[in-house]
Amino acid sequence: MLTGYRFRLYPTRAQAAILLRWIGCQRFIYNAKVGEDRYFRTFARKALQHAGMFAPVDGTYAQFITDETAWLREVPAQVLRNGAASWVTAYSRFFKKLGGRPKLKRKSGQQSVWLTAELFRFEPAEGSYRFMVGTKKCPVGEIAYNAHRPHTPPASVRITLEAERWYLSFSTEDATILPDPQETADWLADFGHAELTERAVGIDRGVAVPFMCSDGARYDLDDIQKARVAKKQAAARRWKKKLARRAKGGQNRRKAARRIAALHRYETDVRRDFEHQTSHRIIADPRTLLIVFEALGVQRMTRRPKAKQDANGRWVRNGACAKAGLNRSILGAMWSRTKDCCAYKAQRAGKLVIDVPAHHTSQECSRCGYIHPENRMSQSAFLCQRCGHAENADSNAATNIRNRGVARIRSGGYRETEKKRIRRMRKKQQQVGGGSSEHTSVETMVSRAAGNGPALGSEKQKGGLARAAETPTSTTEG
């Protein structure tokens, strides 16, 4: 089993200065490799006689150490070599179509340095380890770190500086063999319908309640956390304005950037805490063996309430801001990361997380299966138009999701689909999907009406309304 660890690291001021230099030098080598490659590829494009001449994709870096860059000699050679090696790794990922061509690393934002075994060691010390860094020529000494869970010494580590905090992260492999999800699915398929329904939980992810379970449990940030996140986001917006007015490269601008990073850090911490606690609670429940989520598309992520008109045909507030409650970016991240956390925790516990199609989960009656948009009376109330079944709308959706998951497992329809991690492809798809869903006919109409004169605007409004009436499904919730 491969386990990842991420611990807080507490270097002294002097140690932090050395680590920052290592980070800078490793980034310099990486970026120099990127630059060299670009230079050669430009040649190959511009002159025919150079066609096919590329810089070899290898880990050489000595050519970058010149009299002008003599400062590179002050750090251990392994730090530089690892910079070149990680560029080679990135390039081989590109050749395998797993990612884009290596890009220049920025000097701002999260920074890290990759250390291999020559640069550190874990010395055993009462039940834990002492983390020693450096070589004979460049000793750094012991750096304090908080090992909040037991671990074994890894082959390489990454030291990261993120929003003013240092982290030590690595992964280790141990002899534990994880259960195969396909085998778990086959085992669950032999359960009776009633028993599997009993042992399954469906989870509806929504805007009003981020996580609603079919067993009635609901998970959300508490009000204090939400208020603090909102407050810090507002402060971050103010500081961004200040930052924009400050001189580039100046000390004051750097201070503002640090302030903004610290404000965002709270949000990240709260979110990460929520993701792990929620996924733990869902998986740790001994009754649950099957956890079912609905497949979330871009549409669902960007969906917003319908535009509203009053009796005179004037546009009024539809409560989109009030409904959102949590910022969409943080909500979207919580939705997907909590599910990811559930998936790996479930595998370790011998349980299974699966996806089912999301269409009509909120309009379908969980008792009789009748699907109609009017079943959903409001955001929170569900009332079946055929059998009169009344329930909380999110809880009804969660039950539908659970039932679909049970049906899928019992029909033997579980196939572990391999994740295609083609980043560039995914980016393109997002652009296409996001562009089309962001501008529904109603929205385009609103912006046009606002931009044009009253006569022209009203005419366009009518046209737009007719179009909207023809295709009601495009704006109703799925």
Which residues is 114 bridged to in the sheet?
158
CB of 363 to Zn ion, least distance (A): 11
CA 342, CA 298: separation in Å to the nearest integer? 21
Q: Which is nearer to Zn ion, 90 or 365 (CB)?
A: 365
φ, ψ of residue 139 in degrees (nearest 5): -75, 140
CB of 364 to Zn ion, least distance (A): 9
Angle at 120 between CA 115 and CA 123, to 5 degrees: 145
Q: Which is nearer to Zn ion, 382 or 414 (CB)?
A: 382
At residue 457, what is the residue type?
G
At residue 155, what is the residue type?
A
Task: Confirm or reject binding of residue 18 to Zn ion (CB under 5 A).
Answer: no
CB of 433 to Zn ion, least distance (A): 32
Q: What is the maximal distance between C-alpha atoms in the chain?
A: 83
Task: Confirm or reject binding of residue 303 to Zn ion (CB under 5 A).
Answer: no
CB of 369 to Zn ion, least distance (A): 7
Q: Which is nearer to Zn ion, 109 or 388 (CB)?
A: 388
Angle at 412 between CA 409 and CA 413, to 5 degrees: 80
Residues of span 341-380 touching Zn ion by CB under 5 A: 365, 367-368, 370
Q: Which residues contact 25 (CB under 8 A, 6 or more apart)?
A: 71, 72, 75, 79, 80, 83
CA 228, CA 264: separation in Å to the nearest integer? 11
Q: Which is nearer to Zn ion, 308 or 386 (CB)?
A: 386
Tokens of 270: 């709260």
- Mask for 222-261, x = binds Zn ion (CB under 5 A): ----------------------------------------
> Which residue from 93, 389, 410, 448 is in contact with Zn ion, where contact means CB under 5 A?
389
Residues of span 393-422 touching Zn ion by CB under 5 A: none
CB of 367 to Zn ion, least distance (A): 5
Q: Which is nearer to Zn ion, 178 or 387 (CB)?
A: 387
CA 250, CA 257: separation in Å to the nearest integer? 11
How many residues of this chain bind Zn ion (CB under 5 A)? 8
Part of the chain binding Zn ion (CB under 5 A), chosen from 21-29, 212-220, 381-389, 392-400: 381-389
Which residues is 381 bridged to in the sheet?
392
CA 315, CA 307: separation in Å to the nearest integer? 7
Q: Which is nearer to Zn ion, 284 or 368 (CB)?
A: 368
- Give the CB-side neighbour count of residue 269, counting CA atoms within 13 A: 14
Task: Confirm or reject binding of residue 387 to Zn ion (CB under 5 A).
Answer: yes
CB of 389 to Zn ion, least distance (A): 4
Part of the chain binding Zn ion (CB under 5 A), chosen from 163-171, 227-235, 355-363, 385-393: 385-393
CB of 277 to Zn ion, least distance (A): 35
> Which residue from 84, 354, 358, 384 is in contact with Zn ion, where contact means CB under 5 A?
384
Which residues is 6 bridged to in the sheet?
169
Cα-Cα end-to-end distance for the chain = 39
Burial 220-230 (b: 16+ CB within 10 A, else e): bbeeebbeebe
Check if the beta carbon of residue 248 is closer than 8 Å to that of residue 256. no
CB of 368 to Zn ion, least distance (A): 3
CB of 192 to Zn ion, least distance (A): 24
Residues at the interface with Zn ion (CB under 5 A) = 365, 367-368, 370, 384, 386-387, 389
